[in-house]
Amino acid sequence: MQPIVTPFHHAGTGTWSYVVADPATSEAAIIDPVLDYDWKSARTATTAADLLVAHCRAHGLRVRWILETHAHADHLSSAQYLKGVLGGEVAIGQGIRSVQRTFKNLFGLGPDFQPDGSQFDKLLDDDTTLPLGAGSIHVIPTPGHTSDSVSFLVGNAVFIGDTLFMPDSGSARCDFPGGDAAGLYRSVQRLFTLPAGTRMFVCHDYTPGGRAAACETTVDEQRCANIHIRNGIDEAAFVRMRTERDATLDVPGLLIPSVQVNIRAGHLPAAEADGISYLRVPVDLFGRQKS
Ligand SMILES: [Fe+2]
């Protein structure tokens, strides 16, 4: 099965979301959908998610899966909104439990948050497959950016989350809790064993140099031209470059709300007695001290 891939770019966070459909059966998976969030007002919106809804309805797609490549730290997931509107099961790699334990501690979450993955409909083991129409989705473990990161191979298309970006943009940061630059290097080497012409779809693009936003490359293009990991760059050199670069990066603007929602599979924290959902803000915990 060779899927029909429809990308959606969220300009506010530089995120690419995908609708991946089996042309024979119209069964579809949604990958890494975004919930709009205005940090000034702490207000959510479904503007971006509704574009995916409209696409699925216009093409008569039946959504079987809503997949996360990892617990994102730069945008909130609209998985639960989309599940409510379109159906489907929300799934993420089984490594989410470790990520949940880490952030439960960092955010001081109480006993109502269980770091057991139960917020998701399905936890994906490494190298398992999910059915999708006449074909399947192969779950490739690609830890490094986060410990729960996975990639999804559907026919000749692989959705690599935050492992590599487009060739001119390099690789994802590895300095979040649980991140591991050497692990990312090894994950990319595994992706590089896919056939050269495999279509490779990234989760973010920050339009370097003002070029148009881009989402699709190939395994061969990455192997030959990625500015951070390509043929001839060894693990030690990559880890040194990645570690030095990560030390200069700022905390993502939406890290604090994103992580708290995304480790809950896209649910907001349960409403309190006044009917309002509250997020927690740990002071002087993330990032570097600035003068
Ligand atoms: Fe990420």
Query: What's the mean pLDDT in 173-178?
Result: 95
- DSSP H or E stretch at residue 77: strand 76-77
CA of 91 to the centre of ligand 1 (A): 16
CA of 231 to the centre of ligand 1 (A): 24
Query: What's the mean pLDDT in 84-96?
Result: 98
Query: In residues, how long is the chain?
Result: 291
Q: Which of 162, 264, 146, 173 is nearest to 215 (CA)?
A: 162
CA of 161 to the centre of ligand 1 (A): 7
Percent of residues, the chain, with pLDDT higher than 70: 100
The region of weakest confidence among 97-101, 113-117, 261-265, 286-290 is 286-290
List b or e across 265-280, with b for residues whose CB sees 16 or more CB atoms inside 10 angstroms: bbbbbeeeeeeeeeee
What's the rounded Cα separation, in Å, for the pair 169 and 206?
8
Query: What's the mean pLDDT in 190-206?
Result: 98
CA of 214 to the centre of ligand 1 (A): 17
Inform me whether the pLDDT recorded for 105 exceeds 90. yes
CA of 188 to the centre of ligand 1 (A): 15
Inform me whether the pLDDT recorded for 202 exceeds 90. yes
CA of 116 to the centre of ligand 1 (A): 21
202: burial class by Cβ within 10 Å (0-12, 13-18, 19+)?
Answer: buried
Inform me whether the pLDDT recorded for 218 exceeds 70. yes
CA of 141 to the centre of ligand 1 (A): 15
3-state secondary structure 110-148: CCCCCCCCCCCCEEECCCCEEEECCEEEEEEECCCCCCC
CA of 74 to the centre of ligand 1 (A): 7
CA of 60 to the centre of ligand 1 (A): 30
Query: What's the mean pLDDT in 11-22?
Result: 98
pLDDT of residue 63: 98
Q: How confident is the model at residue 291 (pLDDT cuts 50, 70, 90)?
A: low
CA of 162 to the centre of ligand 1 (A): 5
Decide which of 123 and 291 is more confident: 123
Query: What's the mean pLDDT in 263-274?
Result: 98
Q: How confident is the model at residue 290 (pLDDT cuts 50, 70, 90)?
A: confident
Inform me whether the pLDDT recorded for 53 exceeds 70. yes
CA of 181 to the centre of ligand 1 (A): 14
Is residue 140 within 8 Å of 191, Cβ to Cβ? yes
Q: Which residues contact 52 (CB under 8 A, 6 or more apart)?
A: 8, 17, 19, 30, 33, 78, 82
pLDDT of residue 136: 98
Is residue 163 within 8 Å of 152, Cβ to Cβ? no
pLDDT of residue 58: 98
DSSP H helices, the chain, are: 47-58, 79-86, 96-106, 181-191, 219-225, 235-246, 255-262
CA of 171 to the centre of ligand 1 (A): 11
Per DSSP, 269 falls in state P
- Write out pLDDT tens, residues 107-156: 999 999 999 999 999 999 999 999 999 999 999 999 999 999 999 999 99
CA of 118 to the centre of ligand 1 (A): 21
pLDDT of residue 288: 80
Percent of residues, the chain, with pLDDT higher than 90: 98
CA of 71 to the centre of ligand 1 (A): 7
Between the CA of residue 88 and those of 25, 29, 64, 121, 214, what are the distances in Å? 15, 8, 4, 9, 27
Q: Which of 252, 234, 233, 168 is nearest to 202 (CA)?
A: 168
82: burial class by Cβ within 10 Å (0-12, 13-18, 19+)?
Answer: buried
What's the rounded Cα separation, in Å, for the pair 51 and 78?
12
